């Protein structure tokens, strides 16, 4: 009976599809954050001599609002997800610190100007990967 039960649970435990990864990542965002939007990204490995694949999403953020961006990578791929936030001119925040090589799970961003922003998701060292980026509102 125990083995039969495991045969039904095994796919749920080991399969990390879009919805499962979104749920995991929403929980990673913390209890003081309210889920707003998710970005599910699957990118191929970068080929030699080509640019690294990047997913790009434009969002509208509101002034005087505290946001949290969380990224979770699927353990079924080698790629470690990196999330970067840009305004029209420059990068404002990133989950990756190139000086240390460390990738952080989340970044907080306090918006000082309403307008369009761009979320870029890529994978460290151009590896193939699947990740979910979560945009959350942080309660005051």
Residues 28-72: tens digit of each pLDDT: 777 788 999 999 999 999 999 899 999 999 999 999 999 999 999
C-alpha 100/C-alpha 92 separation (Å) is: 18
Residue 1 lies in a domain: no
pLDDT beyond 70 at 14: no
CATH code, domain carrying 21: 2.60.120.380
How far is 68 from 38, CA to CA, in rounded Å?
Answer: 12
- Whether the pTM exceeds 0.85: the reply is no
Which SS3 state, helix, strand or coil, does residue 63 take? coil
The rounded percent of the chain whose pLDDT value lies above 90 is 72
**In this structure, what token pair is assigned to residue 110?**
């306090």
> Which residues constitute the domain of residue 117?
16-138
Using CA atoms, how far apart are residues 84 and 98, in angstroms rounded to an integer? 12
Number of domains forming the structure of the chain: 1
In a domain, 24, yes or no: yes
Which residues, listed in sequence order, are joined to residue 59 by a DSSP beta bridge?
A: 117
């Amino acid at each position: 009976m125990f083995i039969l039960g495991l045969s039904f649970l095994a796919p749920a435990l080991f399969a990390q599809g879009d919805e499962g990864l979104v749920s995991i990542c929403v929980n990673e965002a913390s209890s003081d954050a309210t889920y707003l939007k998710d970005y599910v990204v699957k990118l191929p490995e970068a080929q030699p001599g080509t640019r690294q694949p990047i997913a790009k999403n434009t969002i509208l953020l509101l002034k005087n609002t505290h946001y949290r961006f969380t990224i979770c990578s699927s353990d079924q791929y080698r790629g470690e997800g990196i999330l970067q936030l840009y305004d029209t001119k420059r990068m404002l925040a990133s989950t990756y610190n190139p000086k240390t090589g460390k990738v952080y799970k989340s970044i907080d961003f306090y918006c000082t100007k309403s307008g369009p922003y761009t979320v870029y998701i890529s994978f460290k060292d151009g590896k193939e990967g699947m990740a979910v980026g979560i945009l959350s509102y942080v309660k005051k």
